[in-house]
Chain A
Amino acid sequence: AQTVTQSQPEMSVQEAETVTLSCTYDTSESDYYLFWYKQPPSRQMILVIRQEAYKQQNATENRFSVNFQKAAKSFSLKISDSQLGDAAMYFCAYRSVFQGAQKLVFGQGTRLTINP
């Protein structure tokens, strides 16, 4: 079974600075999808970024980018120019590509605090 580990329960960063959130995963599959979701105080899960394992190029979405290291099974999220609205829980998630593998496997989350 696949597992996802987020080793940083809490992180903090000064506004306008850059922060990196760590995620490692364990799988025997060669193709899969990885995601970062943001959960603000409203508790709705919001997709931040998605990476397909067969793509070597790291995904980017505006101020958010990932460092995908397939061999190391590492998938970190970098947030540049941090803003107060970035404060939230961040969850890393894994999804298999195989038929019937419908679920997202989530890490336990990292709480990000932005200091003004």
Chain B
Amino acid sequence: DGGITQSPKYLFRKEGQNVTLSCEQNLNHDAMYWYRQDPGQGLRLIYYSQIVNDFQKGDIAEGYSVSREKKESFPLTVTSAQKNPTAFYLCASSIRGGEDTQYFGPGTRLTVL
């Protein structure tokens, strides 16, 4: 059963703590992405990766970090430097990084207490 999984579904963090969101895909896609969604807004790109061991900043990368050590995994760390981290985070993947359609995981809701 192919797809994109994100965990956890809900995540709570105290201010000043780093937290890592998981994204895994078994679609054999080369490219992976992280987006953030705030209430009443569309999605904004945080980071993307076209191949293993390579990633690029998106529009709102400040306060976030990523790694791409394996093709199927693209974890996102929300650091204490992120000023307003409470949001819904969506991971996506595509066959390649070019014209291919991006498919999304179910998302993680992060709340900072």
Q: A residues near B, CB below 8 A?
A: 4, 33, 35, 37, 42-47, 50, 52, 91, 93, 95, 97, 99-100, 102-104, 106-109
Do A102 and B48 form a contact, CB below 8 Å, given A44-B104, A44-B107, A45-B90? yes
Which chain B positions have C-beta within 8 A of A106? 42-44
Nearest B residue to A46 via CB reads: B104
How near does chain B come to A31, taking the closest CB pair, in angstroms? 9
Shortest beta-carbon contacts, A-B, top 4: A106-B42, A45-B104, A103-B45, A44-B106
Instruction: Let me know if B42 and A4 touch, CB within 8 A.
Output: yes
Which chain B positions have C-beta within 8 A of A107? 42
How near does chain A come to B69, taking the closest CB pair, in angstroms? 20
Q: Mark B49-70, 1 if CB is under 8 A from A, else 0.
A: 0100000101100000000000
Which chain B positions have C-beta within 8 A of A33? 99
Nearest A residue to B102 via CB reads: A104
C-alpha gap A37/B43 in the complex (Å): 11
How near does chain A come to B11, taking the closest CB pair, in angstroms? 14
**Neighbour of A50 across the interface among B41, B48, B98, B101, CB < 8 A:** B101
13 pairs across A/B with beta carbons < 8 Å?
A42-B106, A43-B106, A44-B107, A45-B43, A47-B103, A102-B31, A102-B45, A102-B48, A103-B59, A104-B45, A104-B102, A106-B43, A108-B41
